[in-house]
């Protein structure tokens, strides 16, 4: 693929470029559309046609402009454009988290007693090739109906145990400001709902969506948290930084959830740079997910031992709160994956591994010390 860099550069100087609706209207969803921006060889056309027919794809002109066409393994290209690897025989299923069985109503996933994921929309600015909600965003209806949002709100209203609501999708920020405002207003009126979180990749894939109007509306609904999704330091562009800073300036704490992906961020160096650059724009690395055993993602999955090794490599080598928790999501909830720093007990001592690779002996007798005993 050879991108028409002149065309993209010219577009990027127009006012329309900064309008998220223009980015959505001009999203590239077919080989023909892509050919307006790039020269593709026959093999690339065939790959996009066959792999792309399994799971729809779409990229904003903004995301296309970030692709490095001189790098066949470009981390941005591999997250968004279909590749032949998706058709390889695979162990994976279509709904690895069995969300269907954890859904009391179509739009709500209720795994933990006190919090729910509320799927308010089934469209996204781009379709990540490893999306575990593929089963959901695959639907031909482009939006979750008003009815399923209504059912979800009624369900949450009827369960006083729910204190934390996570708006997800699809990407909730694909909705208009008015509709988001409406949902947040209803949730805020429920006395048991203590916090609301929004999960959105728009700061990464459509930073133009973070407008002054959106931010002003969101800040009315505090305490509101936002979790976004960056996987590679190259995604932290000036546009993304502007969007993240605008959210942080509005007092919205931002976390990042990335997915460990083969050839994209499965190295200590890339993960460290990603986490450190996120901190510079006031985003706290929250989770790194093991890529789900999802049909069509065998080429992107990393052995869990390697993931643990990468996370282990960050400890002691970067800011403590810059280190996310590596987790495997399961139908029962998220399972943290880590190497143990605890080694074993030796009499009154506990042996631990240190970030410098030594064993430290900590005096730590079993049982509570008796304050009446003097020695
Ligand atoms: C991830 C998730 C949550 C939130 O989990 P936290 O560990 O609190 O971030 C809630 N519900 C579902 C179904 C989830 O998958």
Q: Give the residue whose CA is nearest to atom 1 of ligand 1.
A: 334
| CA of 123 relative to ligand 1 center, distance in Å | 20
| CA of 218 relative to ligand 1 center, distance in Å | 21
For the beta sheet containing 342-346, the strands, ordered from the edge strand earlier in sequence to the opposite edge, are 342-346, 349-353, 359-363
Quick one: pLDDT at residue 145?
Answer: 76
Q: Give the residue whose CA is nearest to atom 8 of ligand 1.
A: 115
Backbone angles phi, psi at 286, to 5 degrees: -110, -65
Q: How many CB atoms lie within 10 A of CB 125?
A: 26
Q: Give the residue whose CA is nearest to atom 2 of ligand 1.
A: 117
Pocket test for ligand 1, best of 104, 107, 117, 337 (most atoms within 8 A of CB): 117
Query: How far apart are alpha carbons 38 and 351 in whole angstroms?
Result: 58
Pocket test for ligand 1, best of 115, 163, 227, 256 (most atoms within 8 A of CB): 115
DSSP 163: -
- Mean pLDDT value of segment 181-190: 98
Query: How far apart are alpha carbons 136 and 125 in whole angstroms?
Result: 15
Does pLDDT of 284 surpass 50?
A: yes
Quick one: pLDDT at residue 36?
Answer: 97
Domain span(s) for CATH 3.20.20.70 in the chain:
99-336
Quick one: pLDDT at residue 240?
Answer: 98
Pocket test for ligand 1, best of 334, 335, 336 (most atoms within 8 A of CB): 334
Quick one: pLDDT at residue 235?
Answer: 98
| CA of 374 relative to ligand 1 center, distance in Å | 48
Pocket test for ligand 1, best of 111, 116, 286 (most atoms within 8 A of CB): 111
Q: Give the CATH fold of the 99-336 domain.
A: TIM Barrel (3.20.20)
Q: Which residues of 325-339 are buried (b: 16+ CB within 10 A; e: fewer)?
A: ebbebeeeeeeebee
Q: Which residues line ligand 1 (CB under 6 A)?
A: 109, 111-112, 115-117, 166, 329, 334
Query: How far apart are alpha carbons 16 and 160 in whole angstroms?
Result: 45
- Mean pLDDT value of segment 350-363: 96
| CA of 192 relative to ligand 1 center, distance in Å | 18
Does pLDDT of 133 surpass 60?
A: yes
| CA of 166 relative to ligand 1 center, distance in Å | 8
* Ligand 1 nearest atom to the CA of residue 227, by list position: 9
Confidence of residue 27 (pLDDT cuts 50, 70, 90): very high
DSSP 357: S
Pairing of strands 342-346, 333-336: unpaired
Does pLDDT of 374 surpass 70?
A: no
Looking at every residue in the chain, the average pLDDT score rounds to 94
| CA of 31 relative to ligand 1 center, distance in Å | 36
Query: How far apart are alpha carbons 202 and 187 in whole angstroms?
Result: 22
| CA of 68 relative to ligand 1 center, distance in Å | 34
Confidence of residue 137 (pLDDT cuts 50, 70, 90): confident
Q: Give the residue whose CA is nearest to atom 14 of ligand 1.
A: 117
Query: How far apart are alpha carbons 63 and 67 in whole angstroms?
Result: 7
Angle between helices 177-188 and 146-157 (to 10 degrees): 20
Does pLDDT of 275 surpass 50?
A: yes
* Ligand 1 nearest atom to the CA of residue 102, by list position: 13
Backbone angles phi, psi at 108, to 5 degrees: -115, 130
Q: How many CB atoms lie within 10 A of CB 180?
A: 21
Q: What is the pLDDT of residues 76-122, one digit of tens each?
A: 999 999 999 999 888 888 888 999 899 999 999 999 999 999 999 99
Distance in angstroms between the alpha carbons of the first and the last residue of the chain: 77
Q: What is the pTM of this model?
A: 0.94
Q: What is the pLDDT of residues 305-350, one digit of tens each?
A: 999 999 999 999 999 999 999 999 999 999 999 999 999 999 999 9
Minimal CA–CA distance to 295: which of 80, 132, 58?
132
* Ligand 1 nearest atom to the CA of residue 111, by list position: 13
- Mean pLDDT value of segment 133-158: 82
Quick one: pLDDT at residue 142?
Answer: 46
Q: Give the residue whose CA is nearest to atom 12 of ligand 1.
A: 117
* Ligand 1 nearest atom to the CA of residue 286, by list position: 9
């Amino acid at each position: 693929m050879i991108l028409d860099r002149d065309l993209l550069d010219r577009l990027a100087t127009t006012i329309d470029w900064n309008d998220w609706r223009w980015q959505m209207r001009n999203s590239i969803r077919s080989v023909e559309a892509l050919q307006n921006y790039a020269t593709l060889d026959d093999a690339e056309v065939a790959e996009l046609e066959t792999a792309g027919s399994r799971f729809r794809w779409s990229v904003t002109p903004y995301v296309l402009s970030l692709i490095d066409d001189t790098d066949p393994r470009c981390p941005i290209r591999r997250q968004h454009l279909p590749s032949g690897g998706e058709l390889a025989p695979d162990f994976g299923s279509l709904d690895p988290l069995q969300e269907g069985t954890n859904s009391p109503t179509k739009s709500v996933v209720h795994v933990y007693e006190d919090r729910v994921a509320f799927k308010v929309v089934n469209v996204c600015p781009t379709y990540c090739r490893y999306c575990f909600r593929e089963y959901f965003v695959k639907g031909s209806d482009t939006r979750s109906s008003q009815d399923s949002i209504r059912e979800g709100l009624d369900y949450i209203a009827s369960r006083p145990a729910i204190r934390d609501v996570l708006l997800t999708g699809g990407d909730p920020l694909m909705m208009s400001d008015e509709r988001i405002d409406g949902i947040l207003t209803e949730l805020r009126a429920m006395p048991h709902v203590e916090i609301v979180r929004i999960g959105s990749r728009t700061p990464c894939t459509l930073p133009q969506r973070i407008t002054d109007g959106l931010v002003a509306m969101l800040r009315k609904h505090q305490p509101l948290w936002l979790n976004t999704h960056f996987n590679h330091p190259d995604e932290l562009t000036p546009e993304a930084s502007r969007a993240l800073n605008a959210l942080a300036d509005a007092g919205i704490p931002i976390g990042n959830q990335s997915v460990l992906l083969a050839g994209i961020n499965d190295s200590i160096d890339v993960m460290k740079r990603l986490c450190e650059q996120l901190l510079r724009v006031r985003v706290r690395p929250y989770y790194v997910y093991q890529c789900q055993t999802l049909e069509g993602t065998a080429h992107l999955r990393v052995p869990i031992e390697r993931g643990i090794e990468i996370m282990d490599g960050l400890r002691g080598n970067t800011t403590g709160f810059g280190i996310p928790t590596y987790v495997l999501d399961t139908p029962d909830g998220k399972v943290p994956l880590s190497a143990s720093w605890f080694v074993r007990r030796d009499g009154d001592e506990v042996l631990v591994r240190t970030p410098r690779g030594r064993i430290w002996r900590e005096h730590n007798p079993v049982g509570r010390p008796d304050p009446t005993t003097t020695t």
